């Protein structure tokens, strides 16, 4: 049973890495499930502190994933209309366009929001929309980094107890 849980945990870690790029899966949270499954084996002792800290990091990254594109819009000169457009575009894009919508939605939402705010300044609207794209890329990179760290933690825990598995 432990070998099955070992492979199942690795599957979730791998899924977490893929989830860093796919909006359907919350990457770090999925990776954390892999760490939890690893700790459910009889070989590796349950470490509630480790699991609690990694869960906290996963939840924070999940929340930031929705905030960072709006922050990027603001940093690139967007107004509140652009920020709200980013958030609304993210939700609508995700619902109707799937994975492509997570990129296009915030960009178009910020652009349209800025045009609603000031229809004469399309350069500023494009700059704010680019900021939402930069925020999205930063957010994706952050999720990927955390998922790779979880992979390293997974192998580190496994390596410490590998002699008990085989």
DSSP of 22-66: -TTS-HHHHHHHHHHHHHTSSSSPP-HHHHHHHHHHHHHHHHHHH
Q: Is the pLDDT score of 164 beyond 80?
A: yes
Considering its fold, how many domains does the chain have in total? 1
Inter-residue contact 90 to 111 (CB < 8 Å): no
What is the share, in percent, of the chain residues with pLDDT greater than 70? Answer: 99
Q: What is the pLDDT of residue 16?
A: 96
pLDDT of residue 24: 72
| Location of structure tokens 């996963």 | 58
**Mean pLDDT score of the chain:** 89
- Please give the residue range of the domain that contains residue 108: 2-165
Cα dihedral sign, 85-88-94-97: negative
Answering whether pTM is above 0.85, one says: no
Of 4, 1, 29, which is closest to residue 13 (Cα–Cα)? 29
Interval 37-66 mean pLDDT: 94
Confidence (pLDDT) at 124: 84
**Is residue 129 very low, low, confident or very high in pLDDT (cuts 50, 70, 90)?**
confident
- Confidence check: pLDDT of 78 > 90: no
Comparing C-alpha atoms, which of 15, 39, 37 is closest to residue 27?
15
């Amino acid at each position: 049973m432990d070998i099955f849980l070992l492979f199942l945990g690795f599957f979730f870690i791998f899924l977490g890495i893929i989830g860093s790029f796919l909006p359907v899966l919350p990457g770090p949270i999925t990776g954390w499930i892999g760490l939890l499954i690893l700790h459910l084996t009889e070989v590796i002792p349950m470490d509630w502190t480790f699991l609690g800290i990694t869960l906290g990091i996963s939840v924070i990254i999940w929340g930031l994933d929705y905030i960072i594109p709006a922050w990027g819009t603001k940093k690139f000169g967007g107004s509140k209309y652009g920020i709200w457009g980013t958030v609304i575009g993210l939700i609508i894009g995700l619902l109707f366009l799937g994975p492509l919508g997570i990129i296009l939605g915030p960009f178009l939402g910020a652009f349209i929001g800025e045009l609603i705010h000031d229809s004469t300044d399309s350069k500023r609207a494009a700059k704010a929309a680019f900021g939402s794209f930069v925020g999205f890329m930063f957010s994706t990179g952050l999720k990927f980094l955390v998922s790779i760290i979880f992979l390293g933690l997974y192998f580190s825990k496994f390596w410490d107890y590998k002699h008990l598995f085989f």
